[in-house]
Structure 1
Amino acid sequence: MATRYDPADYPPFAVTVDLVVLTLRDDALHVLLVERGADPWRGRWALPGGFVRPDEGLDAAAARELAEETGVRDVPGHLEQLASYGDPDRDPRMRVVSVAYLALAPDLPEPRAGSDAAGAAWVRVDDALARPLAFDHARVLADGVERARAKLEYSPLAAAFCADEFTVAELRRVYEAVWGRPLDPRNFHRKVTGVPGLLVDTGRTRAEGRGRPAALYRRGDVTTLHPPLSRD
């Protein structure tokens, strides 16, 4: 006979979702933050997120919280679970385990604060990492930024931030924004044009500055870059 289960025999804890939503604005990597309108950490900036309801899954909770707190819905582009965070003292209210998501997408709209958020804004990642965030969100954000930077090494995700036809210089600016440092133009050109399936030469060109016209490319159908593009 199975042992009878009594939930009261176990300490209560909650599950939350937090979202690291990244995009490019003015050639710089930005993250979506909300200003908390309720305790704990009232008035401090944080990643959007909240408690998972008993009747919903994690993905649904992430989409709901993002829409309620920021007005951003149906994020296109790349979305994945980032990691779980469960330090016992990460939330002063009770034991809370959070499942974090990473979204990296182009052309995201201006946020609109709602629910229990007093404000919502796109913030440069460097500025966000330098300010005190609520809970352990500075750690979550740092993990999300590093994951996004690593994904550009082995996936064609950066090309999603370019127009249908683009130059290698335009693609390089995406990598520079996400990786947070300048890249040597010639070395970058050699690397990206040497990855099979990453770029397709359209045969057309575009004048850029005083030099000779730059070749126009479109995204290839490769899903994994081999060899990967090293940040070194």
Structure 2
Amino acid sequence: MDPNAVTPETFDALNLFLRADWVVKLVMIGLAAASLWSWTIILDKTFRFAALNREANKFEDAVSSGRSLEDIAAEAGERPRHALPRMLQGALKEWREARTKGQASDGQAAFLIQRIDRVLDTVIARESARVEDGLGALAIVATASPFIGLFGTVWGIMHAFQSIAMQKNTSLAVVAPSIAEALFATAIGLVAAIPAYIAFNAFSTKAGKYSARLEGFADDLSTAIQRRLAERV
């Protein structure tokens, strides 16, 4: 049997990779690594957003239960990992310090609210940056992978035409495997890019919603502090 004969096995993914030019092989390996990298980020973000929203629901239920905010903040521990208890503890800390220094009077109320808002904004900014970490990598994979795959395809087709010219044979049996090897690079590029693109948009939306949730919680805290100040007047 002719080892160069075209069979269904000729178009297997493994055979296409093994028969490809070394440049195309490097492109395929790079795209496969990029795909693995993006899937690592996708899985991490999926579990992380689920955990963040689960903890946020739990903490918001505790706050809305009517219990003392001081008790809820104390139960969260000294160094809570979640943003909401950190925001509550930061606001209460500013409140206690202002009350201790006698700055919780009506004349100093506006300055106290400004300090609390700055503390809350700092936590929101840091948490928003943390949840968005990795989205840039997904964007890079989503936008660059198709072009890298296309480069591999163009290079592979050029190499295929060179081989065809050397063999002086333009039959489909000779052309098809070489073209398939080249197009396989584009296919891998799309396989890497499509999940990364979908995940980037999905997680960007989730990150925006989570940041909005933090901002809403910050507004509620600020309102609660203002209510306390009004009750002292």
- Class of the TM-score when normalised by the shorter of the 2 chains: under 0.3
Bigger strand share: 1
- TM-score, with normalisation over the residues of structure 1? 0.22
Query: Which entry has the higher C-alpha Rg, 1 or 2?
Result: 2
- TM-score, with normalisation over the residues of structure 2? 0.22
Bigger helix share: 2
